[in-house]
Amino acid sequence: MQQRFFRNLVFLLSLNLLIKPFWILGIDRSVQNAVGEATYGLYLSIYSYSFLFFILLDLGITNYNNRNIAQNNQLLSKYFAGIASTKLLLSLLYAAVTFGVGWLIGYRGEQMYLLGWVAINQVFLSFILYLRSNISGLLLFKADSVFSVLDRLIMIFICSILLWSGWIEGPFQIAWFVYAQTFAYVITFLLALIYVMRHAGKLRLSFQLPFMITILRRSLPYALLVLLMSFYNRLEPVLIERLLPGDIGLTQTGIYGKAFRLLDAGNNISLLFSVLLLPMFASMLKRREPVSQLIRLSFSLILAFSTIIAGLAMAYSEDLMELLYGPLPAQIPQLFGNNIDDSTLILRILMGSFVSVSITYIFGTLLTANGNLKLLNIIAGSGVIVNLSINFILIPRYEAVGAAWASFGVQAFTAIIQIVIAFRIFNLRFGRLFWWRLTEFVILLAIIIGLSTILPFQWYIGFGIALVSGILITFLTKMIDPDDLKELVSSIFSKRGEKV
């Protein structure tokens, strides 16, 4: 199973590293630069708000289905039509709650119009994720990898034309960005549906109330977990826009979004570990196979990756912000400088939480696969309370910077608790040598990154030197053992005919 994990991780990472960084740092960044911080802040706030109720589209069905299909492949054709029908009804519930609450908190006019299209996109995204849960549950990881980036690939094509072709007259509109997402999601949904139907056979929608109630009852613990995690992962932009007055709230949301974009880019890569590990853990635990080696391998990989990325982003935060976000037309230089300073500080704080976020994709996924939903919900519920408490205190006083500190606190809090619980439940023992290697790796990495910032070169040369050096010390300290890696790589080319 370690061999399959590593082989498919390499393929999944390769696809995502080709597509998603350009999407986030090329397209999404360019859209914000084109429309301005306040307009993009409005979009980010509404998108984050719509994501708070995303769980109503799913109620935990996707995570439950992924685990269930991984353990019982034969249930795909039996469950697919009934679950799809259930999700159609949930889409109506999502629309009612999203627009109802939106009206109550003051959304009107342009805000409601934008929310309508964003909500449609969330519905299609929910169905795409459900279809992918069937594909990955069947351990068809290569196909799932393709569908994981297809929507972004389509959006890159459309937005590139809108932004840079010169065929479109007038300034870029944020609504165009949302329309492009809608088109991309529709195409991805249709292709994923066709692919799943090839494996599930002929299907017809059926509204069977007893079946729907059974599925919802079984998936509700997953629903509560996703809901709580959505709140403490996505709440900050909404709170910034709502708690701060007028244009200040929109501008501060846009400034926060600049820094959050880099954290989101890293999270998109770390999330891939969870996508692969959930069905693998579920399948191994059902067959009572030991998971400690797979946990240690994935933990080592994600620690090395996240620590290097976080360290570099924190050390070169100001250079990265200036590279990505130039001054807007007619923007006062002093205002641009102040915004860059704020985004730089926020980036350092958020990237400080990146390692914690990445760790939860390992241990949170393990506990989910093992069915420890009650414990995870208690942890996530505590995270929401901590997050709200800190945000309501810090945002009115420190604006977006306060929200960043709130995010840092809650991510560290939940990650530490998940690690402790997972180690106790699975009686994990990595040994003193592992922790010594980890300590040695972190110390050497900090020294190398620090020295790279004082080299007499352009900053990007020092950045590159630190990146390559960080990768080298990962192997020199045996944070990732070269012998284990060599064995895994050789297995990729020696094994044939295994379903992927």
CA 149, CA 115: separation in Å to the nearest integer?
Answer: 24
Number of H helices, E strands in the chain: 18, 0
pLDDT tens figures, 363-404: 988 888 888 878 888 888 888 888 889 999 999 999 999 999
Which tokens go with 308?
């290097």
Task: Break the chain into its structural domains and give their ranges.
Answer: 2-429
Q: Roughly how many angstroms between the first and final C-alpha of the chain, as a whole number?
A: 11
**Which positions ≥6 away from 466 have C-beta within 8 Å?**
311, 312, 315, 448, 449, 452
Of the two residues 500 and 316, the one the predictor is more confident about is 316
- Considering only the C-alpha atoms of the chain, give the largest distance between any 2 of them, rounded to a whole number of Å: 70
- For the ranges 5-14, 284-293, 364-373, 418-427, the one whose mean pLDDT is highest: 418-427
Evaluate if residue 337 carries a pLDDT over 80.
no
On whether the CB atoms of residues 93 and 216 are closer than 8 A, the answer is no
Please report the pLDDT score of residue 66 as a whole number: 67
Query: To the nearest whole percent, how much of the chain has pLDDT over 70?
Result: 80
With cut-offs at 50, 70 and 90, classify the pLDDT of residue 353.
confident
pLDDT value at residue 326: 64
Whether 305 shows a pLDDT value over 50: the answer reads yes
Contact predicate 276/3, CB 8 Å: no
DSSP code for 75: G
> What is residue 394's three-state secondary structure?
helix
**Count of beta carbons in the 10 Å neighbourhood of residue 246:** 9
Q: Counting Cβ atoms within 10 Å, is residue 171 exposed (0-12), middle (13-18) or buried (19+)?
A: exposed
Asked if residue 351 lies in contact with residue 314, where contact means CB atoms within 8 angstroms, the answer is yes
Please check the confidence at residue 79 and state whether its pLDDT lies above 60.
yes
Distance CA 96, CA 231 (A): 19
Q: What is the pLDDT of residue 107?
A: 85
* Residue 312 pLDDT grade (very low, low, confident, very high; cuts 50, 70, 90): very high
Q: Taking the mean position of all CA atoms in its chain, how far away is CA 107? A: 27
Which residues fall within 8 angstroms of residue 66, CB to CB, at 6 or more apart? 133, 136, 137, 278, 279, 282
- CA-based angle 210:215:216, to the nearest 5? 100
pTM: 0.69
Alpha carbons 108 and 115: distance in angstroms, whole number: 10
* pLDDT digit string, tens, across residues 92-142: 999 999 999 989 888 888 889 999 999 999 999 989 988 888 787 777 777
Q: Tell me the average pLDDT of the chain.
A: 81
pLDDT the model gives residue 488? 46
The 10s digit of each residue's pLDDT in 35-60 is 887 888 888 889 888 887 887 887 77
Mean per-residue pLDDT, 238-260: 85
Containing 436, the helix (H) or strand (E) segment is helix 431-452
